[in-house]
Amino acid sequence: MSEKYDVIVIGAGPAGYAAAIRCAQLGLNTACIDKSVDREGEPTLGGTCLNWGCIPSKALLDASHKYVEAKDHFADMGIKVGDLSIDVPAMIARKDEVVKGLTGGIKGLFQGNGVTPLHGTGKLLARHQVLFTPHDGEPQNLETEHVILAPGSVPVAIPPAPLTDDLIVDSTGALEFDSVPPRLGVIGAGVIGLELGSVWNRLGSEVVVLEALEEFLPMADERIARDAKRMLGSQGLDIRLGTLVTGAEVQGGEVKVSYQDADGEHSLTVDKLIVAVGRRPYTEGLLATDCGVNLDERGFLYVNDLCATDVPHVYAVGDVVRGPMLAHKGTEEGVMVAERIAGFKPLVNYDTVPSVIYTHPEIAWVGKTEQELKADGENYNVGSFSFAASGRALAANDAQGMVKIIADAESDRILGVHVLGPQASELVAQAVIAMEFDASAEDLGLIMFAHPTLSEAVHEAALGVAGHAIHMVNRKRK
Ligand code: FAD
Ligand code: NAD
């Protein structure tokens, strides 16, 4: 039997690595087991987020956005560029370098903070034991006081569109195309479908997105979703709602997709097809039958609000438990659990988890949507401000979209903030801070924002809740 640990974390994604680092910072003898390997077969830390998710997708989104700016918008600002072309292998190689730098950074953080990385597979056994099977060695039983399970999630597969090596792919494959597919199909108009559909559309693909639901982005505020759909449509994303994909097969190097909608049966031929219909918790091989940890009815590890499982010394965090599958949500859960193990009492506020879709313009929100509040019968006031009236957005030639703030009609407490526009991902952080401190729209309106900034749109929307916005005509004069 080898050394006894205070904490063993299974999974080194943003939930697991944050938990492991925080445990070690708090003086706990911590090991983190992860089985991921990179394309060269070398162990890699950082999980989906760093290797195949948040980071590589943003590297391609940023690169493709710069290309579109140079191609279509620099001239508006008096900047002439000569012949512009794309080097896809170079773009992918740069994305890989960004990933390598960050995953190497986690290795350094483990070393610096004293986390023991264990490369291989972990399985939760009963009685404070974990079975560790190294990539290149014999399985061994490890003893530990506490276990944090953070095995993440994997893409959902659908029977009508089985993945092939490189023509019908999931999000991981869609980050690796070596050239721009002239015709690209995407199944699912969710976050991945829109982000990766945007990347390849910007680089020149004709993109058709097939979405099963009749409604576009039902989790976003209706007004924001409607405007976003129009803007993405005008960029060239052909989003077809209410479609049921019935088959997809490779024929002669192309993909033939068949689908149904209210008008009947259709077919579509594309060069690549991305399947992006959601992710599911990944628990294969994780739990010994007698370990005592249970799943919920949807296959997530069952936990309470404090991420405790049914076994007192075992916790679970990140995509594998209920709640949005977002890196920052997992990280906060990981840190909370580490601090609770060390005897502190932090909480995660699930009411202020921000959501962002990194299209252009970006879509970001926190809190309730107007349709949710309406359905709950709440009384509320709305303030909104269009980037078309923002000096900074106009100066930057990036003035699409709006900020919308919803506040309780009686207390004026901010209930939801929705942003469609440039740097919405950054602007929403202000709303998260305001909501964490239970701010009213008036509080936000009383704060001074630098001029000229995009943030002023948040300020003006907050003033707009009571009809006081300066740079718009107010109908509710008070
Ligand atoms: P993961 O990151 O999935 O990590 C789990 C790790 O555990 C993996 O390395 C896995 O190999 C390992 N593991 C699993 N089982 C075992 C086992 N038994 N033994 C050893 N190791 C095991 N979220 C955002 O917030 N922002 C974004 O911009 C964003 N973009 C995304 C883009 C894409 C294309 C994708 C696919 C996802 C994106 N996400 C984004 C979601 C984000 O990646 C996840 O929410 C996040 O990675 C979840 O973190 P996690 O630590 O729970 O799990
Ligand atoms: P998603 O749940 O966001 O979207 C999946 C979409 O596919 C939904 O609109 C769904 O209605 C549709 N769909 C499901 N089955 C279908 C079918 N058979 N035919 C057509 N459409 C179908 O899932 P995703 O885009 O795969 O992303 C997975 C997870 O990863 C999300 O939970 C998301 O939170 C996370 N993620 C986050 C970010 C970010 O934060 N920016 C980026 C990428 C992924």
Place of tokens 């949005």: 324
Tell me the catalytic residues. 451
Q: Is 193 in the pocket of ligand 2 (CB under 6 A)?
A: yes
Count of alpha carbons within 13 angstroms of residue 58, beta-carbon side = 13
Name residues contacting ligand 1 (CB within 6 A): 10-16, 33-36, 47-49, 52-54, 57, 121-122, 150-153, 171, 192, 282, 285-286, 318-319, 325-328, 330
Percent of the chain with pLDDT over 70: 99
Contact assessment for residue 94 and residue 63, using Cβ atoms and an 8 Å cutoff: yes
How many helices, marked H, and strands, marked E, lie in the chain?
13, 21
pLDDT at 396: 98
Q: pLDDT per residue over 324-351, tens digit each?
A: 999 999 999 999 999 999 999 999 999 9
Residue 384, pLDDT score = 97
Give 196's DSSP letter.
H
Please check whether residue 128 is in contact with residue 145, taking contact to mean a CB–CB distance below 8 angstroms: yes
Picking from 331, 283, 373, the residue whose alpha carbon sits closest to that of residue 46 is 331
Q: How far is CA 232 from CA 237, 419, 447, in A?
A: 6, 15, 33
Q: How do residues 387-417 score in pLDDT, each as one tens digit?
A: 999 999 999 999 999 999 999 999 999 999 9
Average pLDDT score over residue span 63-77: 97
Whether residue 476 is predicted with pLDDT greater than 80 in this model: the reply is: no
Q: Ligand 1 mean position to 54 CA, how many Å?
A: 9
Backbone angle region of 401, left / alpha / beta, with phi > 0 → left and psi within -120 to 50 → alpha: left
For residues 294-323, average pLDDT: 98
Over 80: is that where the pLDDT of 3 sits? no
Q: How many CB atoms lie within 10 A of CB 266?
A: 14
pLDDT of res. 477: 58
Ligand 2 pocket check: which of 49, 61, 191, 320 to mutate, most ligand atoms within 8 Å of Cβ?
191
| Average pLDDT of the residues of the chain | 97
What is the rounded average pLDDT of the residues 228-244? 98
Q: Work out the average pLDDT over 54-79.
A: 98
The angle, 0 to 180 degrees and rounded to 10, between the axes of the packed helices 14-25 and 88-113 is 30
- Neighbouring C-beta atoms of residue 25, cutoff 10 Å: 16
State the residue for tokens 């479908």: 193
pLDDT given at position 335: 98
Token pair 């390997």 in the structure block, residue: 37
Gap between the Cα atoms of 434 and 441, Å rounded: 9
83, 174 Cβ separation under 8 angstroms: no
Nearest CA to ligand 2 atom 17: 212
Residue 303 has pLDDT above 90, yes or no: yes
367 Cα to the center of ligand 1, angstroms: 24
Under the banding of pLDDT at 50, 70 and 90, the label for residue 118 is very high
Whether the model pTM is above 0.95: yes
Domains of the chain by range and CATH? 2-154+280-351 (3.50.50.60), 168-277 (3.50.50.60), 361-465 (3.30.390.30)
The mean pLDDT value for 187-207 works out to: 98
Give the residue from 248, 98, 251 showing the smallest Cα distance to 169: 248
Cβ(328)–Cβ(354) below 8 Å: yes
Above 50 in pLDDT, residue 222? yes
pLDDT of residue 165: 79
Peptide bond preceding 422: is omega within 30 degrees of 0, i.e. cis?
Answer: no
Please, are residues 157 and 17 in contact by the beta-carbon 8 Å criterion? no
pLDDT, one tens digit per residue, over 445-471 is: 999 999 999 999 999 999 999 998 899
328 Cα nearest atom in ligand 1: 25
Q: Indicate whether residue 373 lines ligand 2 (CB < 6 A).
A: no
Cβ 161 under 6 angstroms from ligand 2? no
Q: Do 184 and 271 form a contact (C-beta atoms < 8 A)?
A: yes
Nearest CA to ligand 1 atom 21: 34
Residue 3: count of CB within 10 angstroms of its CB: 10
Name the residue of 49, 320, 362 whose CB sits within 8 Å of the most ligand 1 atoms, as the mutation to test its pocket. 49
Q: Which atom of ligand 1 is nearest to the CA of 334?
A: 51
Q: Which atom of ligand 2 is nearest to the CA of 217?
A: 9
Q: Quick one: average pLDDT of 357-368?
A: 98
pLDDT at 2 exceeding the cut of 80 = no
Asked whether 33 and 122 are in contact (CB, 8 A), the reply is: yes
- The pLDDT assigned to 150 comes to 99
